[in-house]
């Protein structure tokens, strides 16, 4: 708790059984993250780093020829991660608020 006096501490735990975020703010909370699946996370990590470190087929090791496609795929992964892990945690620790449903029609399209 003392370590969280400057701000929240978040630890993500993902297994084949379930995924959670352990959050320390004023107390320790466990947030179930049902959409953060181990299988999907593993798949996305493999896309990012490639099948092994010596290959140049991962997004982080791509060439200039693969930059656009790699950036597009990385954006998809980051949006997925936001939806299934980051946003739910930020809502619980009240660092973000969702807009009211009446404002949803005026949000810019991504």
pLDDT in tens, 93-108: 876 665 555 554 544 5
Nearest to 45 by CA among 34, 63, 59, 55: 59
Q: Hey, which of 3-7, 13-17, 65-69 has the most confident mean pLDDT?
A: 13-17
Does the pLDDT at position 86 exceed 60?
yes
Distance CA 69, CA 65 (A): 9
Instruction: For residue 40, name the pLDDT band (cuts at 50, 70, 90).
Output: very high
Average pLDDT, the chain: 80
Interval 42-57: pLDDT, tens? 999 888 887 665 655 6
d(Cα 35, Cα 19) in Å, to the nearest integer? 8
**Phi, psi (deg, nearest 5) at residue 21:** -115, 130
Instruction: Give the predicted TM-score (pTM) of the model.
Output: 0.70
Residue 12 contacts residue 39 (beta carbons within 8 Å): no
């Amino acid at each position: 708790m003392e370590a969280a006096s400057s701000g929240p501490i978040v630890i993500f735990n993902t297994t084949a059984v379930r995924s959670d975020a352990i959050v320390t703010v004023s107390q320790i909370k466990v947030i179930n993250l049902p959409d953060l699946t181990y299988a999907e996370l593993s798949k996305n990590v493999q896309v990012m780093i490639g099948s092994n470190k010596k290959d140049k087929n991962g997004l982080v090791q791509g060439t200039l020829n693969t930059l656009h496609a790699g950036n597009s795929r990385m954006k998809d992964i980051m949006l997925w991660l936001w939806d299934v892990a980051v946003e739910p945690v930020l809502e619980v620790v009240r660092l973000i608020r969702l807009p009211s449903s009446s404002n949803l029609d005026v949000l810019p399209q991504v």
